[in-house]
């Protein structure tokens, strides 16, 4: 791969000099949005089970023959991360841009936009 982009060490004429930076960075541009969580909207899929323990079994061990799943719920929810401008203590980065000790991550709130139950 290095020889493809840079060419041989003794000559640079055979390298792919005409390849643009956008082509070289294309794999990263495709992967970055899929690997980061800097979005403000998230879809969460979940499966929740309510378990019922038998009185004759140990409390810290699951026994498939005696213990049972009493209910099962599968679904998804769309969550939105937001900043409430009315909360106190929110750092003002416009008047104080050098405040590196404050972070907005500590002030985010979450709300549920939509819930959906999966019923196969």
Task: Give every CB contact of residue 44 below 8 A, 6+ residues apart in sequence.
Answer: 76, 77, 78, 79
DSSP 53: -
> Phi/psi at 2 (nearest 5 deg)?
-65, -40
DSSP 107: G
Tokens coding 50: 């309510």
Tokens coding 86: 């009315």
pTM value surpassing 0.95: no
Tokens coding 91: 């750092």
- Percent of the chain beyond pLDDT 90? 31
CA distances from 38 to 33, 46, 81, 118 (A): 8, 21, 10, 27
Domain ranges of the chain: 1-36
Q: What's the whole-number mean pLDDT along residues 13-38?
A: 69
pLDDT tens-place string over residues 32-67: 766 766 678 889 999 999 999 999 888 899 899 999
């Amino acid at each position: 791969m290095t020889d493809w982009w840079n060419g041989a060490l003794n000559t640079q004429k055979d390298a792919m000099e005409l390849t643009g930076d956008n082509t070289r960075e294309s794999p990263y541009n495709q992967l970055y949005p899929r690997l980061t969580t800097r979005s403000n909207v998230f879809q969460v899929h979940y499966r929740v089970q309510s378990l019922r323990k038998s009185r004759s079994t140990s409390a810290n061990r699951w026994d498939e023959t005696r213990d049972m799943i009493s209910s099962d719920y599968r679904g998804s929810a769309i969550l939105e991360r937001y900043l409430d401008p009315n909360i106190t203590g929110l750092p003002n980065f416009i008047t104080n841009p050098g405040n590196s000790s404050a972070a907005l991550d500590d002030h985010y709130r979450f709300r549920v936009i939509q819930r959906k139950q999966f019923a196969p």
